[in-house]
Amino acid sequence: MDKLSYYNIVVPYGNNKLVYNTLTNSLVCLENEEFETISQLVADLEHFRSEYGELYDSFKKCGFFVEGDYDELNYIKFMNNKMVYENQKHHVTINPTLDCNLKCWYCSTEYSKTSHSGRMDEAMIKAVKNHMSLLINDLRIPALHLDWFGGEPLMYFDDVVAPISSHCNELAKEHDVVFTQHATTNATYMDEEMMRRMADLRFTSLQIALDGNERRHDLIKRNSDKSGTFKKIVSNINLLPEIIPGISIILRINYDKRTLHGIEDIIPLITDNAKKHISVDFQKVWQINCTSADYEQLAKVQTSFKACGFRVDNHLMTPKKFYSCYADRLHQYVINYDGRVFKCTARGYDESRCVGSLSEDGTVKWKDGLLAYMYSSPAFNNPKCLSCKLLPVCMGPCITKGIEMRKGGHGPDCFMDRFPHYAESHVVNEARIRGLLPGA
């Protein structure tokens, strides 16, 4: 006998009910009267199937009903294991430096508190090249993705990024390995010549941040002489697709209470061609606490960007991904400029978070005990996450937060506690995108 999926949620919208399954990503819009009728029918699924077989089958195909012995939670755990361990693609983040030409007050690398000096030296560059050779020549990995981070990685494009990228590019061509590159950059070092070199080195995506409209942005992201960077960054965003036609640009909007007012000033400054390559990612400055009114303003701003043809990303709820963060994957790690290896760029670079060190010959001396502890249990394996209907689209805390939870003996810092209406907004936005809402 069939049963209702545990992962069905219902969101009221005007005179309608949006029924969404977080595991299958299926969504239907029902008028209130239709919903009441369906609610009565699902009280007796056998009767529903016998009387309205075609409708029943369509609901079951969408995952709103499942086989009686089907354990959805076990399926989620199984898919999580596959996504974390099965994919042999290596995602290696490299910090050429933790230095930056801009001193944004909120920076997660905590520039003034971090112990570092300069850039990756020549010996470490050689070690990184040796490591890439081991991955491609010996491990025979099918794909390699280099992710340049920092600090500002393009400060040392000629000294660090280009030599390592060229080495990997040649190796990948020789061994028929899929090779792609990404950089998280403030874009102030970029010019047309650098873009052309990046195209040759197979850069396929960039993340570039703006901190509001020109007036607000230039109060935060300023050069050492206090001059602004907004115009140069916007100019480079528009130029990039002209030089690298296949480029994807994540336009990260770092917002606080003031940034969200006037941010729409950016919209007419982006060319129609660039707009096709951009996905906008609104990220709250982590030191700021926002109110419900702030989040209402965020929703209005997101709607404005969407209405003008921008794709707006949603990283808090992602269906069918089955892991929380790219750092959860076994074959993802960060090589710092000093050769220490980490899982994450967002939680700091103190020694307690170091999972290994890169040797001269390119091998990594892994801290197997720490890694074993990290991967001994997924971070969502706690009562709150396991009982949550949003688990399939959230997958709980990331692997590094999971360690902090276990060491601290506390439960997850659930985003739904901080954004109580986010799930409803997500479902409504999905319905709007799929053309399910009346008048859409």
pLDDT digits (tens, 9 = 90+) for 398-439: 888 888 888 887 878 787 776 667 788 889 888 988 889 876
pLDDT value, residue 10: 97
Final residue in a domain of this structure, among 72, 93, 116: 72
Task: Answer yes or no: is 174 within a domain.
Answer: yes
Task: Say yes or no: 108 and 199 in one domain.
Answer: yes
Domain boundary among 335, 353, 387: 335
CA distance 313 to 278: 10
- Smallest CA-to-CA distance from 280 within 265, 301, 296, 295 is with 301
Give the span between the Cα atoms of 356 and 348, in whole angstroms: 15
Q: Residue 51: which domain range?
A: 3-72
CATH number at residue 131: 3.20.20.70
- Tokens, residue 232: 């140069």
Please indicate, yes or no, whether residues 62 and 192 belong to a single structural domain of this protein: no
Flag whether 428 is in a domain. no
Does residue 169 share a domain with residue 91? yes
Closest CA to 399 of 344, 331, 348: 344
Are 60 and 182 in the same domain? no
Task: Indicate the pLDDT class of residue 42, thresholds 50, 70 and 90.
Answer: very high
Residue 356 lies in a domain: no
Do the domain assignments include residue 270? yes
In a domain, 249, yes or no: yes
Q: Which of 55-59, 60-64, 109-113 has the lowest mean pLDDT?
A: 109-113
pLDDT at 170: 98
Express as a percent the part of the chain with pLDDT over 70. 96
Question: In this structure, how many other beta carbons lie within 10 angstroms of the beta carbon of residue 8?
Answer: 20
Number of domains in the chain: 2
pTM of the entire predicted model? 0.91
Q: Write down the mean pLDDT value for the chain.
A: 92
| Whether residue 112 has pLDDT greater than 50 | no
The reported pLDDT for the residue numbered 257 is 81
Mean pLDDT of 343-366: 93
Same domain for 61 and 94, yes or no, is no
Q: What is the pLDDT of residue 414?
A: 83
Q: Is residue 271 part of a domain?
A: yes
One domain for residues 97 and 11: no
Q: Where among 283, 310, 335 does a domain terminate?
A: 335
- 272 & 208 share domain: yes
In terms of domains, do 45 and 94 share one?
no
Four-point Cα dihedral 31, 33, 37, 42, nearest 10: 50
CB 27 within 8 A of CB 8: no
Specify if 99 maps to a domain. Answer: yes
For residues 149 and 209, membership in a common domain is answered with yes
One domain, residues 187 and 214? yes
Going 64 to 69 to 73 to 77, the CA torsion angle's sign is negative
Same domain, 54 and 90: no
Are residues 91 and 61 part of one domain?
no
Task: Summarize pLDDT for 378-398 with one digit per residue, the tens.
Answer: 999 999 999 999 999 999 998
- The mean pLDDT value for 105-110 works out to 65
